[in-house]
Amino acid sequence: MQQANNPKALMSVAEQMVLAATTAPKGRGQDNLEIAILEREDILHAAEEMERIGKKHGVAAFLRDAGNLREHVSVAVLIGTRIQQLGLKYCGLCGFKDCDANRAANGICVFNPGDLGIAIGSAVSVAARFHADNRVMYTLGMSALALKWLGDEVRLAYGIPLTGTGKNPFFDRK
pLDDT for res 70: 96
pLDDT for res 174: 60
pLDDT for res 2: 45
Q: Determine the Cα–Cα distance for residues 10 and 134; give it in Å rounded to an integer.
A: 10
pLDDT for res 1: 36
Q: Determine the Cα–Cα distance for residues 103 and 99; give it in Å rounded to an integer.
A: 6
| Residue ranges of the chain whose pLDDT lies below 50 | 1-3
pLDDT for res 82: 97
pLDDT for res 173: 66
Domains, in order of start, for the chain: 7-162 (3.40.109.10)
Tell me the DSSP string of the chain: ---SS-HHHHHHHHHHHHHHHHHS--GGG---EEEEEEEHHHHHHHHHHHHHHHHHHT-HHHHHHHHHHHHH-SEEEEEEEE------SS--TTSSSSHHHHHHTT---THHHHHHHHHHHHHHHHHHHTT-EE--BHHHHHHHHHHTTT-TTEEEEEEEEEE-SSS-TTTS--
Q: Tens digit of pLDDT for each residue in 65-74?
A: 999 999 999 9
Q: Determine the Cα–Cα distance for residues 75 and 39; give it in Å rounded to an integer.
A: 5
Q: Tens digit of pLDDT for each residue in 136-148?
A: 999 999 999 999 9
pTM of the model: 0.93
pLDDT for res 166: 83
Share of the chain above pLDDT 70, in %: 97
